[in-house]
Amino acid sequence: SEYRNTSRSPEPEQQLLLPWDRFSAWLHCICVVGFDLELGQAVEVIIFILLCKTSICYLSFPDSNSGCLGDTQFCFRFRQAAGSKSSLGCFLDHFDRDAPVCLKKDQGHFYGYVYFRQVRDKTLKRGYFQKSLVLISKLPYVTFFHSLLKLIAPEYFEKQEPCLEAACNDIDRWPTPCPGKILTLPIMGVVMKVTPITDSLVSIVLPTIHEVDLFRCFYPVFFHIQMLWELVLLGEALVVMAPSPAESSETVLALVSCIAPLRYCSDFRPYFTIHDSEFKEYTTRTQAPPSVILGVTNPFFAKTLQHWPHIIRIGDMKQTGEMAKQMKVKKLKNLKTLDSKPGEMFISLILIQGVQQKRPSSAQNAILRRYFLELTQSFIIPLERYVASLMPLQKSICPWKSPPQLKPFVQEEFMKTLEKAGPQLTSRLKGDWIGLYRQFLKSPNFDGWFRNRRKEMTQKLEALHLEALCDELRIQKHTEVETVDLVLKLKEKLVGIFLGSVCILLYVFLGFLWFQYVCHDTPPPPHTHPEQCEELPLVLHTDNTI
């Protein structure tokens, strides 16, 4: 984000929006959590409706014995209560269509962004001032909201509620998120300039509104990053034990983002406490640990989660020579990891060399993110290529018939394609790629990825079929019965696919075509039979194709 001092507000946009609609496009609510000697953590201030108040109270305070004096920032994630509705409405629907998976709103969870302050205060009975300012949102804009809190929280702790009200009024003047467009966001006399990226505009070097610093987060685990990538890719149960919520949340978010642009489809909790509603579900020994990544700080979890197969323990960051003492990784013995080819330099050695040469942290972060990106791309490209082959041929789309169905995904057929077009063509790593793919095809990440791809391809087929219907109705010559049949088919398709204003506009167009046919006796162009269409394979073009 870029900051510059100014008191000028942007010109008002989207005049049709109601008061607080723009606020709701960014935030669900804002709350202040303080510590009460009798009640413990308690919500003191709420702006808009607050869900899961008890969980938010506990998640907004560190629960470790680290004694976080001063200001601490971290984030958490909690499940949306059944039957509850987000305040975002439809404001982000258009944004979600154009945004990469890492920036899409979270359908079933909320994010909590916390600015916690703990300082000595002799005037208080407990001897400490403890309070958190929390932003609740559906948007995974980690870097952006942390930057926003750095502006709002210090002012709030000094000036209290009037400052918070002014900030909310500023946010309600913001434009809604728009991919690829520079947004000017005034907040308390300062303007933040951000650009939500699109799938065709992915930044590797420059800081973004959502990415954490991979280099800082993975500094203690340089020699295990490839194994961690595999664990996240396969959706394995993984727990991060850290001394503070800031370290646990950043590490969990770094793990989730290391398989980008592939979306992590399992559950993850950057900061998890014993008071969470899923505590019993995630810590039971009667069944295998669920597919989830947990970030914890309470020493109690060291015993409660000791049966988990993959555990990362992170201490304070020390010098390079002490890394092994500060970090421990427990993993399954039968986990097969990929190996580098002989003669190739390990990414960890490249990063260690950068530390010795005092390479800038931003450059180290770019190297590490590029490494993960290329690794994930090498893995996903064969899947993308095979799924594209499941699209039917163009000649099979006929306006008089239902849209053709996609071919089924056959695992063994896909495995055969790996022999000549596998990841070994683009990756410097070798190993049991086939075994890794077999495990991945059983994981939630594959299920989520394939569901999304299948939805996109189905929508593409529906759009092409709709286009064929419109062309047939507009160009070709038909009897009145055939025309009525086509109109009914088109009407049925519009009702099933489109909603709101788009549906209204298309119905107007449909009525215009019908009026033109009935009222005008102009003969249409000569008829071309569907079988005369050229046989061409359909290629699915999406902006987020890897």
Q: Which stretch of 296-300, 377-381, 479-483 has the lowest confidence by average pLDDT? A: 479-483
* Mean pLDDT value across residues 116-128: 86
- From 117, 134, 146, select the one nearest 56 (Cα to Cα): 134
Distances in Å between the Cα of 314 and the Cα atoms of 61, 153, 215, 354, 369 are 20, 28, 14, 22, 21
Superfamily holding 2-210: Longin module (3.30.450.200)
Q: Which stretch of 329-343, 439-453, 492-506 has the lowest confidence by average pLDDT? A: 329-343
What architecture (CATH level 2) is domain 212-390+407-442? 3-Layer(aba) Sandwich (3.40)
Q: Is the pLDDT of residue 248 over 70?
A: yes
Beta carbons within 10 angstroms of residue 453's beta carbon: 21
Task: Indicate the domain borders of the chain.
Answer: 2-210, 212-390+407-442
pLDDT of residue 9: 43
Q: Angle formed by the axes of helices 444-475 and 480-497, to 10°?
A: 150
- Contact (Cβ atoms closer than 8 angstroms) between residue 100 and residue 199: yes
pLDDT of residue 457: 93
- Contact (Cβ atoms closer than 8 angstroms) between residue 235 and residue 445: yes
Say whether pTM exceeds 0.85: no
Share of the chain above pLDDT 90, in %: 38
Q: Is the pLDDT of residue 301 over 50?
A: yes
Which one is predicted more confidently, 204 or 55?
55
Q: How confident is the model at residue 541 (pLDDT cuts 50, 70, 90)?
A: very low
pLDDT of residue 348: 67
330-336: list long-range contacts, CB under 8 Å, 24+ apart: 331/227, 331/231, 335/227, 335/230, 335/231, 336/431, 336/432, 336/435, 336/436
pLDDT of residue 342: 39
pLDDT of residue 439: 96
pLDDT of residue 504: 45
Compute the mean pLDDT over every residue in the chain, rounded to the nearest whole number. Answer: 78
pLDDT of residue 300: 92
Q: Is the pLDDT of residue 385 over 80?
A: yes
pLDDT of residue 339: 53
- Contact (Cβ atoms closer than 8 angstroms) between residue 132 and residue 61: yes
Q: Is the pLDDT of residue 413 over 90?
A: yes
What values do phi and psi take at 140, rounded to 5? -85, 45
Beta carbons within 10 angstroms of residue 224's beta carbon: 17
Q: Is the pLDDT of residue 466 over 60?
A: yes
Residue 249 CB burial class (10 angstroms; 0-12, 13-18, ≥19) = buried
Listed in sequence order, the residues at least 6 apart from 110 whose beta carbon sits closer than 8 Å to its beta carbon are 28, 51, 77, 78, 80, 86, 136, 137, 138
pLDDT of residue 16: 55
Bridge-partner residues for 267, per DSSP?
Answer: 292
